[in-house]
Chain A
């Protein structure tokens, strides 16, 4: 069964600092997604990474995908308080009956002023 692991699970960082969240998965997949979730809310799509070497950037967040290493990273640049949330990566697995997402454990990010 596919396993998706994120680290760290909890991250507390000061405003203005940089940090990277890692997402490792155990089986070949060509598609990886990053989602943000605020407390008590649903999941907001951040990035869709569709191929090896893909890099996407939006504001202070940048995501990359290395399918050979089965690794995706979410890099935070000059963090601000508004980025405080839980971030999930999800691997899109093709199956005979269709696609299915496997979510990582999540990284709870707190940005401290």
Chain B
């Protein structure tokens, strides 16, 4: 297991199209997070899964965004009817946690850079 994998690395799409990103976490990690990072800013939390359950969603996650983690392994993030403001780097991270505690911090993937034209 070589870490958190994200696919694709880059995506260019026309405004109004739908896009889907995939994240494969470290296999032993039960927690998976999605973050969005725009140029010159720190990552902003989007949503979080523990196993297959989506436990929290940020207010940044509009109705056009949906995330799934169907079997508690990989996750997908879909953006419908993309807008230019969706252009950003989408980062996935995973961790292992029990109860309220994450013991090992996060491991981030390489990210998917989305450009909406």
Contacts and interface: CB of A to CB of B under 8 A. Distances in A.
Same complex origin of A and B:
yes
Interface of A: 4, 33, 35, 40-45, 48, 88, 90, 92, 94-106
Contact of A40 (B41, B107, B113): B113
B43 A92 contact: no
B71 interface: no
B48 interface: yes
Contacts of B33: 100-101
Categorize the interface residue count of chain B. Answer: 20 to 34
B106 interface: yes
Given A97-B56, A98-B31, A98-B55, A105 B41 contact: yes
Given A94-B100, A97-B56, A98-B56, A45 B48 contact: no
B42 A98 contact: no
B105 A106 contact: no
26 contacts: A33-B105, A33-B106, A41-B110, A42-B110, A42-B111, A44-B108, A45-B106, A88-B42, A90-B42, A92-B105, A95-B100, A96-B100, A97-B48, A97-B50, A98-B50, A98-B56, A99-B31, A99-B95, A99-B101, A99-B102, A100-B45, A100-B56, A101-B106, A103-B43, A103-B44, A106-B40
